[in-house]
Amino acid sequence: MKGNKKAFSEAIKFQWVYYERFLNLYSVLLKLAELFEKKERIAKEIPEILVRGTDFDACFTVLFEDKGISQGFYSLLGEEPNLSVEKIEEINKGALSPSTFFDTLGYGVLYVHPLTFELKIKGFVVLGKKEMVEKEKLGLKEVELVIGIFNRFLQLFGQRQKEFDVTKYLPTALLLLDRKGTLVYANEKAKEMFSPYFEIKEGTKIESLFPDFKSFLLEEESFLGEVSFKAQGVEKVYEIETYPVKGEEGKTILKGMTIRDVSAIKVMEEEAFYREKMETLGMLSAGIAHDFNNLLTGILGYASMLKGFLSHDEKLQRYAEVIERSAIRASNLTKHLLNFSRRQRRPATEFDLHVILDDTLFLVGESFRDITVKKEYEARQFLIKGDESEFQHVFLNLFMNAKDAMEGSGTLSVETKKVSIQGIEFVRVKVEDTGKGMDDETLQRLFRPHFTTKKFGGHVGLGLYRVEKTIKKYGGFIEVESEKGKGTRFYLYIPISEGMPEVRLKSFQVPKNEEKKERKSVLVVDDEDFICEMFKHVLSEKFDVTCCLSGEDALRQIEERDFDLIVLDIIMPGMKGDEVLRKVRERGKALKVLISSGYMREDQRERIRKLGADAFLDKPFREEDILKVVSDLMDLK
């Protein structure tokens, strides 16, 4: 996961740097356009334009024309031309593509770009840098693109003898606006970008494209930011950069605006942010729930023991039962919270759909008490193959949208049913609310990215887009029914897995020839001393119980004497329980191992089984839970 995030971050950073460097050359292209308008002195004037618009020190240009050779030279260092047509042709050696030379003709770096027409060289643009620098720092890709555009228009100019607009064919949308926000120029990319929604032409007001953007045009400084665009049911995010276009006297006469569609990038950023946020919340809630489970173990366990001592006092026994029931309720809430938090992104597995629904509905019901939750599940197990965390987010999005539609009060109904469509078996999950419903226009736009009916908050508009994307990813589809004032019904069709293969796990058995002891010994390892004391109280009648509070102490105890059973907490300071288990098995100890933990994902549980765990006791537990699992494990009747 960390590798994917880092790769994604590096990709975005690379795109941004490349784009920023390219924008710096727009002024170069605009000045080149002016040369074509004058149709003269092109070779003489282009060197200064290119030097001032790039990181090179000097530029030498040559154009082979019917009337002769036109040349131009410009240097920031004020030097005399030390380049000639003969020298350039000698080092170029007839190449038709650009070449870079180092420590040549008095320059640390020399970039030679042949100007070609019909596979013949018609001139050169040569850029020089006195000091030796890396090619990447000179932005040669962008320079090559600009000179390539210049070369193309030289070809067209020679063929048609008419004016051409260099900026017309830029790959990025470009607009020029006066100080009132009126459009005076749009290149082809800009016209193509907005053609499905508007016809942009001279006289178009910028507020017709971006209603909230006009204020930025009154500012003298450049602006870089993002704006939302909505038209004809389409929502997009554009990255906008504005810059002043100055006249001969240095006064701003126009505002230039470049526009880039970053909708797809924003979707990726939003999804990455959402995943990171959910995983962070999962880790935080898991840590809190683990500690909470330890506390509940003490409350629930000692309350259950207290009942036995208070059998003679009905009133006090009833109080102990109230404590026990409250602890059980808190335990159930913690269990669902742990189930929810432990589902993080991992490879597709098979899981029970009803378990995902139950965990999510439980938390929604507990969090929003004014919402009535109704469930009607088909009486069978629906196994789904996929990433359960993704489906968890699907249902959470749907349930939270239903809560918002009902404005916090109403009935949320969930129904599952098996259906067969064209020979494929699906589970149909119906999610219905009694909210305000939607009109036809909203229904048509429901699953589009960045579409939202909410008027507040950030990072919104991708919830239902993500829902549909996930369902389609696993071969399913969604149907929606809604009517204003009559609620909404989502029907999710999810393919059913063929079945979960049976998993056979090895367990470590006590050798048959080992002499059985009359009284077995138990080692309890837990960093909470009250949990150790609880085991000692419950098991001391039938077992010799030893307690220790760390993994290191447990290994010392095991080396000093033999135990029949070790009760091992997984999450402890210092040496963790799984490391203790691994070392125990490496030393060939044949004792039984009971894992006691308040937080363990299924993949962790599977890994612990493979290390040699024989059974699990999930926190919190009561006196009878301890007795049952230990009796079963030790074959006591």
Binned at pLDDT 50, 70 and 90, residue 108 comes out as: very high
181 has a pLDDT exceeding 70:
yes
For residue 492, the 8-state DSSP code is E
Measured between alpha carbons, how far is residue 135 from residues 12, 100, 109, 145, 542 in Å? 22, 8, 8, 15, 80
Give me the sign of the Cα torsion angle 503, 506, 507, 512: positive
| CA dist., res. 80 & res. 357, Å (int) | 79
Q: Give the DSSP H or E segment for 269.
A: helix 263-309
Q: What local confidence, expressed as pLDDT, does residue 491 receive?
A: 94
Domains of the chain: 21-166 (3.30.450.40), 171-261 (3.30.450.20), 269-495 (3.30.565.10), 520-633 (3.40.50.2300)
- Transcribe 452-475 into DSSP letters: ----S-SS-S-HHHHHHHHHHHTT
Q: What local confidence, expressed as pLDDT, does residue 277 receive?
A: 64
- When comparing pLDDT for 398 and 408, which is higher? 398
561 has a pLDDT exceeding 80:
yes
pLDDT in tens, 194-211: 888 877 877 788 877 777
Number of residues in the chain:
637
CA dihedral 325, 331, 336, 341 (to 10 degrees): 160
Q: What is the pTM of this model?
A: 0.41
- When comparing pLDDT for 500 and 632, which is higher? 632
Binned at pLDDT 50, 70 and 90, residue 509 comes out as: very low
- When comparing pLDDT for 176 and 252, which is higher? 176
Radius of gyration of the CA atoms of the chain, in A = 37
- By three-state DSSP, how is residue 300 classified? helix
pLDDT in tens, 562-609: 888 898 888 787 888 888 888 888 887 778 888 887 766 677 788 888
- By three-state DSSP, how is residue 484 classified? coil
Between strands 371-376 and 410-421, the pairing is parallel
Minimum mean pLDDT range among 269-278, 317-326, 494-503, 506-515 = 506-515
187 has a pLDDT exceeding 70:
yes
